[in-house]
Structure 1
């Protein structure tokens, strides 16, 4: 919901309040579009703040008139940020009105990851795109990685600024208990800003800058000035997660993250020293592209210090991508839902496939024109609850299935030839012998169909080819493509009834991918929806004109 009651930090800034995962509570989002009025492509990024202050005081705060957010916008990024519950303009947990000791710590990593997911889903729906990049600070690295592990297709790249890492368990010692919330004063924040700067080293933050920032910080809590000393009430869950991480209990599994990751940290950051960064770097075992960047004269709060411009440049460079000499890109980046991209990646392979697979006539004049339009195809997708997210999950499945095409074809063939009423479609109706040449030709095209389904490139040529597939099952064209000697018509009821036999054998290959259970299930459901839609399209010739 777009509102205008919060103070804008820029005239172009937009504010949104959305429902949080906790019923009745809302999250606050800020949005600043790219500086250029017409950016060549949408490059969305969301900033996830740390344990003690909201987004307005971090990525969006301007020192001498310029912020990290401004640098990202100047580089062409569409920049979003949000406040966790209990911070900034987001709603406060009801427990924050009760005594601190009456409840357990609020805003733990699991809770935070669900709030981040709500924000990301809103942004992706708002921009009509499947994925974005994330910048997180400090504790927020844990909810960010939890979310990225659950939903790898929603994440392009991740910048972990001053992240937290796991440390070895302490013998005979556990993390101390904590209340639901606590106060943070200006003096507390100043101590945090200077505690990592070595003795006799020049200051990395001026008192003038801090004084201005401090007043803005107190403004994030309307009741801050009623306290003595003035202080901001914040949840303690992030502190608890950090302490647990330093006692061997890490709140996320970095190995579940599939996106490229950059760890960016300051030389003097006591919360992520070299050994912690080394462990975290190695823990991202599934990330296809990793960096560990250490910037001199920076602490845990480098985004507010004199070396902040180096941080800006390093983060922008990583988020821009194009950091490999080859044309290889990450799964999530390569699968942006661009119709132009689809044309670029598919046209050349289609020509090669048509030469290698007889009868694979996708995109040629040998294929009949589909009776339904692309607009009607979009309506069909809506009827099946098939969304852009399903497209992304189908595309994610391609890398998992491409090496198992023959296995799937064998499984499907086994089902068909175990059932006489289905195997008859491959037999000469007079001799009852299998037409092996026909079966071989159909098998090759069926194998290509698996890849086409996973690629999910829906254009007019694809839509026409689905109609052609239906005609080749119907008496209209059955046997004509391959000069087959089999039954001249495949009953429409058997097309629909065979759908489960196609989809169910796919799941085991998805499940061995190493993805989380939620991601595997999302890929599986995307295949179900796609299969139902395609079977519907294949049955077009079985309807009288005007009935389909």
Structure 2
């Protein structure tokens, strides 16, 4: 581990907020991490992060591996780091339909709803910190959420980072299992490891996840859902709205948003063995981000869709840090 990070992590402050969404009774968990020595941050040093279609922020960005998390890493390097769970995920309110049988309701938490929740979190931070812009970050489905928000609110965004963002595909999309979709699905964590490692070449699978990392991740994932231990095998609930949108947009040749409407600098990070977002899809979206002042592609070798939790995760972290650290003054 980086020595400076080890020293700084001792002074990282963690604070959780529950903020009101635009729907009565639905609150959103917003987690903040920052250095205790810093109280004032510029727009350029402030970032909001959103998760993907299955796992919440606690599972993707705040699992302590090798002594620190992604949120810790950014906070240790002087950023005011926020992460939000949209409704139905992790510590945010789960819609009441998630307590009913899945087949009693249509797929919950469509992407449009997630974009609204993300916008609520952006406005909360802007108002709290008295700044006019913020950096935004999204992974996978969260990339759609963050990019769609940016395309509509460039005036509130400084820079946009996308890790393995969704895009139109003529091939089956792994997120969609097929068949009838209910309001939500159960995702057993004990079945995830085989699928996770299967994306890598067979001779590379043994060292993709350092010893104990999967177990730590699984424990944190289950802990993010208070109902996880009520089922056998242990599993988390995940909403099916993102899958419905795969069927109506990405799997049907239809864009959810226009990349050309993004007018801020963009970093796109992709991993070599990502079968959820193959490199051809990442290239397509990158080529369509034509309105950005500049855009950058970073390809991580020997990584899957879950590269941010694997042995090469620091390459992602450092690429994001470098992108954010660079000075950028938008034309007036």
Q: Same fold by TM-score, threshold 0.5 exceeded? A: yes
What's 1:87 paired with?
Answer: 89
Change beyond 3 A, Cα 1:109–1:227? same
Deviations 1:237-288 (A, max 9, x none): 1233334413312322212211111110111111222211111011112111
In structure 2, stretches of 5+ residues that fail to align are: 1-9, 173-177
What's 1:466 paired with?
Answer: none
* Structural mapping, 1:142-291, within 5 Å: 142-168=144-170, 177-201=180-204, 202-243=206-247, 244-291=249-296
* Structural mapping, 1:128-527, within 5 Å: 128-168=130-170, 177-201=180-204, 202-243=206-247, 244-322=249-327, 329-331=329-331
In structure 1, stretches of 5+ residues that fail to align are: 1-8, 323-327, 332-398, 400-548
What's 1:120 paired with?
Answer: 122
Change beyond 3 A, Cα 1:21–1:176? farther
Q: Secondary structure at the match of 1:259?
A: coil
Q: How big is the shift at 1:38?
A: 6.6
Contact kept, 8 Å, 1:35 with 1:76, in 2: the verdict is no
Distance 1:207 1:186 in 2: 17
Distance 1:72 1:192 in 2: 29
Contact kept, 8 Å, 1:197 with 1:203, in 2: the verdict is no
- Judging by fraction of residues, say which structure has more helix: 1
Mark the structure with the bigger radius of gyration.
1
Contact kept, 8 Å, 2:11 with 2:35, in 1: the verdict is no
Change beyond 3 A, Cα 1:189–1:35? farther
Q: Secondary structure at the match of 1:312?
A: helix
Q: Secondary structure at the match of 1:275?
A: helix
Q: State the TM-score, normalized to the length of structure 1.
A: 0.55
Q: State the TM-score, normalized to the length of structure 2.
A: 0.89
Structure of higher RCO (CA pairs closer than 8 Å, 6+ residues apart): 2
Aligned residues: 315
Stretches (4+) displaced over 3 A: 34-42
Q: CA RMSD in A?
A: 2.2
Moved more, 118-127 or 183-192: 183-192
Distance 1:225 1:179 in 2: 21
